[in-house]
Structure 1
Amino acid sequence: MSQRSCLSVILAAGEGTRMKSAMPKVLHAIAGLPMVAHVVKAAEAAGATGVALVIGHGAEEMRKAAQKFVPEAQTFVQEKRLGTAHAVLAAREAISKGYDDILVMFGDTPLIDAGALAAARQKLAGGAAVAVIGFRPPNPTGYGRLIEKAGHLIAIREEKDCSEEEKKIGFCNAGMMAVAGKHALRLLDKVGNKNAKGEFYLTDIVEIAGAEGLDVVATEAGFESALGINNRAELAEAEAIWQARRRREAMLAGVTLIAPETVYFSHDTEIGADTIVEPNVWFGPGVKIASGTKIHAFSHIEGATIASNCDVGPFARLRPGADLKPKAKVGNFCEVKQATIEEGAKVNHLTYIGDARVGAGANIGAGTITCNYDGFSKFFTDIGEGAFVGSNSSLVAPVAIGKGGYIASGSVITESVPDDALAFGRARQKTIPGKGKELRERFASAAAARKKAAAE
């Protein structure tokens, strides 16, 4: 089958009114990725070599989104919503290019398993003209039933048209199917609209193909894989299923999740074996973590690269561009953005490091900030290897602290510091005996006067 070409036609023209959103339904995200992109990824994993997106509501927004997650996709607009077969035929130009297999999928089924798609394609490779993907819901009420005879699919019957005996069938239509490319356009063009709604139904090609003497079969996907999303409650349910799958994958790959149900991954999170993740950690898009790292509780990480044996958190925030080298430490209530923390460097507490480099073995004291933004532009701070920055220091970029440099606590540093130099940037302390008592008495007297005036 690996030599067979495949086009995935993904129907994504629905308005999704039940989502109560101005955004097209299929652009709502699961694990930080639009649900239609999950469908595309599944199709590609099943061997699809082309993607045709059939869009309608929010067409321009859909095109822009498609450029991000599947730039090679062709987009086709279904101007009028006249049924699923009509929607597939909107991609006639792509279908006519001679693909061996055509996968017809829906953009609102983000949990579809690539294995189920591959199994349907395998049936085409074995000679079937149509392979319909079915599933077995806990309650089949409302679903179209797959009517089989002697191992062949003879019809898809909507529940309202089912006999009492057919209603007992638990094998239901998931909506997705694979069609042999050499038959696809002919079968689709034969679909009529002589029904109550006057629409062209994709399911009709089962009986059309059977009437031509072509082989039509059904394959089975897991119940969760076939779930369609129609509202935000179902979106949340799909998110929970996706997260549960990903957590299990991570743990089976050697990652320790102390409280798995509290850890949230993104679609592209990469995390190495022997990493320990404590409770309530959120991974946004673009996170790569090597082996042996410890992520402490309540950390928020996105767009960051973390090398082996690092220590992060608790309550740390790593923003896009954070790059931690081996054995680096970013501690509690610290934020790092667009900055490199080199090997063995420590950013321990209550600190902001942005647009900067912290050299190997350097120590950044509590309350330190890199002042990287002047309201118009960003500037860089370079902290050399082995430098020591005392607590509550402000490093005003652009500035460099040399190798082995020492910054006294409470300093505001506006000029670069040479290697091994000590820098102070604070006012000299002045102590006035008795002045504290005098101030307290003055303030107390003023407060009493205000209170008396308010009472009168």
Structure 2
Amino acid sequence: MTATAASAKPLAVVILAAGKGTRMRSDTPKVLHEIAGLPIVGHAAKAPAALDPQKLVIVVGPGMEAIADSVPGAVAAVQHDRLGTAHAVLAAKDALSGFDGDLMILNGDVPLIRPETLAALRTSLSGGAAVAVLGFHCHDDHAYGRLILDADGQLDRIVEDKDATPEEKTSTLCNSNAIVLAGAHAWDILEAIDNDNAQGEYYLPDVVKVARARGLGCTHSEAPEDEVHGINSRVELARAEGLLQARLRRAAMENGATLIAPETVHFSHDTVLGRDVIVEPNVVFGPGVTVGDHVTIKGFSHLEGTQVRDGAVLGPYARLRPGTEIGVKAKIGNFVETKKAKIEDGAKVNHLSYIGDARVGTGANVGAGTITCNYDGYDKHFTDIGAGAFIGSNTSLVAPVTIGDGGYTGSGSVITKDVTGDALAVERSVQKEVPGWAARFRARKEEAKKKGA
């Protein structure tokens, strides 16, 4: 759903990411840890991006501007003093100067909210409310704040767990901290929040208290619990990874791919699989992989930064590194590694080979044990293998070098010069034979063994 579908007003999104994340025990800021190949904060920004916001501001701590740099289109706002979540939102005010629209506030460590959930949250403002809060039902022991509704089912207040009465604690409707404020009231409400509490901080949930005191309406929408869990530790990071992987696997199968053992397949956030793709067990998709229709990916293969065309067969144990392009009905076999390589339609690299910084032309065949020697210690060099060429087993192609269309290389050759199309290039030492040498060798060894005994 686009922002236009949800509301005629423009939308700004503020993502709070100033926390230090000390429980991660890491030199890396918490929200830059990755799940499915994308930083946590990237996931937090991905869902609201589907609502077409006019502005995206990420609130960070001093010296943490790199967090915003990791999210395309985001602007950093620095919260110099950590005085609470409402204070953090106010740190974004200058970055939103001149903006006139609704304000969506999200936590940067909550990566699994779906776009449709946020669209529904924003739509809940359409009845005239000034504040909409995203809630979820939690039935386990927890310390979440509760959303307390009035007799008409409208949001009356948010009560923190430590302040809740025994009756209020029986409520399972909890606060996710995802909030939308109607543009006409957003900054007035935020600036009216006080710090009259034991911690002396300005708390974002108090937007409900301020709005209700001014006679403004407050409402809520709900999300599944698994969408709104935050990440504060490595254990929670692993849990989020598991939840997202399950979501990605299900989506792949619903879109027409067969996963033989789904629980063993690891997806990236941007993996694209076509129709009738078969993925065998223990396959890993890194970022930047697009797979066409009717492709088979055999077990224990690893793909990253790779484009695969229709009908190709990959693996088992294939490693396709960034810059690889696999053509229609091409074959990449077991223990083959490619990097920045274009394998054209119908070409085959079936066994125990390394093809890097290279083109393998249409219908060419690369024999077992072939390597492109592409690196001289300083620079990378290109190998061009023409259409219909045949590269004999255990060939070393010392780049830069070109094998013309239809050219052959003899097995075991070290090719350092270009090979003309349809020619055969053989580079080997002359084979010599010494009659009787093996028998004499064995006899000497046996005699030495006896003397030693």
Under a length normalisation based on structure 1, what TM-score does the superposition of the two structures give?
0.95
SS class of match (1:94): helix
Q: Within 2, Cα distance between the matches of 1:448 and 1:214?
A: 103
In structure 1, give the amino acid aligned to 2:404.
G
Q: Cα–Cα, structure 1 residues 57 and 23, in superposed 2: closer, same or farther, change >3 Å?
A: farther
SS class of match (2:166): coil
Q: Within 1, Cα distance between the matches of 2:115 and 2:328?
A: 36
Say yes or no: does 1:242 pair with 2:238. no
Structure-to-structure mapping, 1:13-412, within 5 angstroms: 13-56=18-61, 58-62=63-67, 66-70=68-72, 72-139=73-140, 141-149=142-150, 150-412=152-414
Q: Within 1, Cα distance between the matches of 2:212 and 2:309?
A: 58
CA contact (8 A) 2:62 2:79 kept: no
Structure 2 stretches of 5 or more lacking a match?
none
Q: Within 1, Cα distance between the matches of 2:78 and 2:341?
A: 43
Q: Within 1, Cα distance between the matches of 2:122 and 2:450?
A: 86
Q: Which deviations, in whole Å up to 9, do the C-alpha atoms of 1:409-442 show, x marking residues without a partner?
A: 1111111110111110111111111212333455
SS class of match (2:305): coil
In structure 2, give the amino acid aligned to 1:50.
K
Structure 1 stretches of 5 or more lacking a match?
none
Q: Within 2, Cα distance between the matches of 1:301 and 1:24?
A: 27
SS class of match (1:59): coil
How many pairs are equivalent? 447
CA contact (8 A) 2:41 2:71 kept: no
In structure 1, give the amino acid aligned to 2:29.
P
Under a length normalisation based on structure 2, what TM-score does the superposition of the two structures give?
0.96
Q: Give the share of equivalent positions with the same residue, in percent.
A: 54
Q: Cα–Cα, structure 1 residues 392 and 95, in superposed 2: closer, same or farther, change >3 Å?
A: same
Q: Within 1, Cα distance between the matches of 2:448 and 2:157?
A: 90
Q: Within 2, Cα distance between the matches of 1:402 and 1:49?
A: 53
Q: Which deviations, in whole Å up to 9, do the C-alpha atoms of 1:99-149 show, x marking residues without a partner?
A: 321010000000012122111211223311000111112315311111101
Aligned-pair CA distance for 1:443: 5.4
| 183-192 or 88-97, larger mean C-alpha shift | 88-97
Q: Which deviations, in whole Å up to 9, do the C-alpha atoms of 1:351-393 show, x marking residues without a partner?
A: 1111111111111110011111111111111111111111111
Q: Within 2, Cα distance between the matches of 1:300 and 1:448?
A: 53
CA contact (8 A) 2:55 2:96 kept: no
Q: Within 2, Cα distance between the matches of 1:148 and 1:309?
A: 56
Q: Which deviations, in whole Å up to 9, do the C-alpha atoms of 1:260-319 show, x marking residues without a partner?
A: 000011011111011100000000011011001000000000001100000000000000
In structure 1, give the amino acid aligned to 2:403.
I
CA contact (8 A) 1:101 1:124 kept: no
Q: Within 1, Cα distance between the matches of 2:86 and 2:71?
A: 26
In structure 2, give the amino acid aligned to 1:31.
A
In structure 1, give the amino acid aligned to 2:40.
M
SS class of match (1:165): helix
Q: Within 1, Cα distance between the matches of 2:62 and 2:30?
A: 9
Q: Within 2, Cα distance between the matches of 1:264 and 1:448?
A: 59
Q: Which deviations, in whole Å up to 9, do the C-alpha atoms of 1:319-353 show, x marking residues without a partner?
A: 01110110100000000111111110100100111
CA contact (8 A) 2:133 2:180 kept: yes
In structure 1, give the amino acid aligned to 2:323.
G
CA contact (8 A) 1:95 1:181 kept: no
Q: Within 1, Cα distance between the matches of 2:117 and 2:449?
A: 76
